[in-house]
Amino acid sequence: MDVRILEEEGRSVKLLLEKANPSYANALRRAMLSEVPTLAIEEVIIYENTSSLYDEILAHRLGLVPIRTDLKRFNFREECVCKGKGCANCTLTLTLEEEGPKVVYSHDLKSPDPELTPVEGIPLVKLGRGQRLRLEAEAVLGRGKEHAKWQPGVVGYKYYPVVEVDAERCTACGECVDACPRELLVLENGSVEVRDIESCSLCRACAQACEEEALSVRGDDTRFIFTIESNGSLPAKEIFREACREISKKAERMVSLL
Ligand SMILES: [Zn+2]
């Protein structure tokens, strides 16, 4: 299998996977969503809450806040030297103390580590005048298969589009050019050319518009375009790398069991 980066922008990355097959592509997608560990709030101790949201709802909202994760420094609680009691190697304790009137955001949660901080800009609760909130939250490593709050982002893939024009049948009528919703086809010197094939969504509108049946649209099942969009807990490339590591770990376990 070969992997190439097509596009990188902010929290998302577009990858091209070559010399693969659909089961590999799907295994990678599933591993990225459900096997890659990230930090998320698992326990909340509420000392004071006079906001309009009751404690359970607030704790649920806190649980869904993505937290920047450094996998090299953190252990799973049950695998940690503290034997699950919770220590600095497996538990990140965040604190929050706010008084209204104001909107409390995810970045108001104070982290003891400047590299392990909540992703900014997520509103948690609106406090009225004099309303107070004081709490402590413990974030631990987990996996998306256990709870969606540990998913590192969203991942999708599509088969690499292949659009072929049969030059003998094509009358250069231009129907397909008008039919393409993404405007990827152009008429040039009496023949149809495809521009930016990777943006094709395989909708087949061009093939349906062609009365001569000169166009064929198919997906190449050995090449896949992945779109990985991180929620901020891990860089998008790291999500892919970590998923590969998780798959190889599983394979090694399988070999040792056999
Ligand atoms: Zn520990």
Q: What is the largest CA-CA distance in the chain?
A: 78
Residues 111 and 193 reside in one and the same domain: no
Quick check: is 245 in a domain? no
Residues 116/40, Cβ–Cβ less than 8 Å: no
* Residue 110 vs residue 85, higher pLDDT: 110
Residue 92 Cα to ligand 1 midpoint, Å, equals 10
Residue 80 Cα to ligand 1 midpoint, Å, equals 5
Confidence of residue 174 (pLDDT cuts 50, 70, 90): confident
Residue 156 Cα to ligand 1 midpoint, Å, equals 34
Quick check: is 236 in a domain? no
Residue 191 Cα to ligand 1 midpoint, Å, equals 66
Residue 154 Cα to ligand 1 midpoint, Å, equals 29
How far is the C-alpha of 67 from the C-alpha of 115, rounded, in Å?
10
Residues 52 and 76 reside in one and the same domain: yes
Total domain count, the chain: 2
Q: What is the mean pLDDT of residues 70-75?
A: 91
Domain of residue 45, CATH code? 2.170.120.12
Residues 9 and 72 reside in one and the same domain: no
Q: What is the mean pLDDT of residues 164-177?
A: 88
Residues 135 and 173 reside in one and the same domain: no
Quick check: is 134 in a domain? yes
Quick check: is 98 in a domain? yes
Residue 51 Cα to ligand 1 midpoint, Å, equals 33
Looking at residue 16, its pLDDT comes to: 96
Residues 62 and 93 reside in one and the same domain: yes
Quick check: is 246 in a domain? no
Confidence of residue 258 (pLDDT cuts 50, 70, 90): very high
Looking at residue 49, its pLDDT comes to: 97
**% residues pLDDT > 90 (the chain):** 84
Residue 78 Cα to ligand 1 midpoint, Å, equals 8
Q: pLDDT digits over 200-226, tens only? A: 999 999 999 988 888 999 999 999 999
Residue 40 Cα to ligand 1 midpoint, Å, equals 15
Q: Is the pLDDT of residue 190 over 90?
A: no
Residue 34 Cα to ligand 1 midpoint, Å, equals 23
Quick check: is 103 in a domain? yes
Q: pLDDT digits over 126-155, tens only? A: 999 999 999 999 999 999 999 999 999 999
Residues 134 and 164 reside in one and the same domain: no
Q: Is the pLDDT of residue 191 over 90?
A: no
Mark which of 115, 143, 171 sits at the end of a domain.
143
Query: Average pLDDT over the chain, rounded to whole?
Result: 94
Domain of residue 162, CATH code? 3.30.1360.10
Residues 45 and 110 reside in one and the same domain: yes
Q: pLDDT digits over 115-127, tens only? A: 999 999 999 999 9
Residue 85 Cα to ligand 1 midpoint, Å, equals 6
| Alpha-carbon 224 to chain mean position | 17
Residues 27 and 93 reside in one and the same domain: no
Tell me the C-alpha to C-alpha distance, in Å, between residue 40 and each of 1, 70, 87, 135. 32, 12, 16, 16
Residue 79 Cα to ligand 1 midpoint, Å, equals 8
Residue 93 Cα to ligand 1 midpoint, Å, equals 12
Residues 123 and 212 reside in one and the same domain: no
Residues 179/209, Cβ–Cβ less than 8 Å: yes
Residue 167 lies in domain: 2-34+154-227
Q: Is the pLDDT of residue 170 over 90?
A: no
Residue 74 Cα to ligand 1 midpoint, Å, equals 9
Residue 60 Cα to ligand 1 midpoint, Å, equals 23
Q: Is the pLDDT of residue 171 over 90?
A: no
How far is the C-alpha of 24 from the C-alpha of 199, rounded, in Å?
22
Tell me the C-alpha to C-alpha distance, in Å, between residue 160 and each of 18, 85, 177, 182. 9, 48, 20, 16
Mark which of 98, 121, 143 sits at the end of a domain.
143
Quick check: is 243 in a domain? no
Quick check: is 213 in a domain? yes
**% residues pLDDT > 70 (the chain):** 100
Q: What is the mean pLDDT of residues 86-95?
A: 93
Residues 136 and 188 reside in one and the same domain: no
Residues 30 and 158 reside in one and the same domain: yes
Looking at residue 162, its pLDDT comes to: 94
Residues 163 and 109 reside in one and the same domain: no
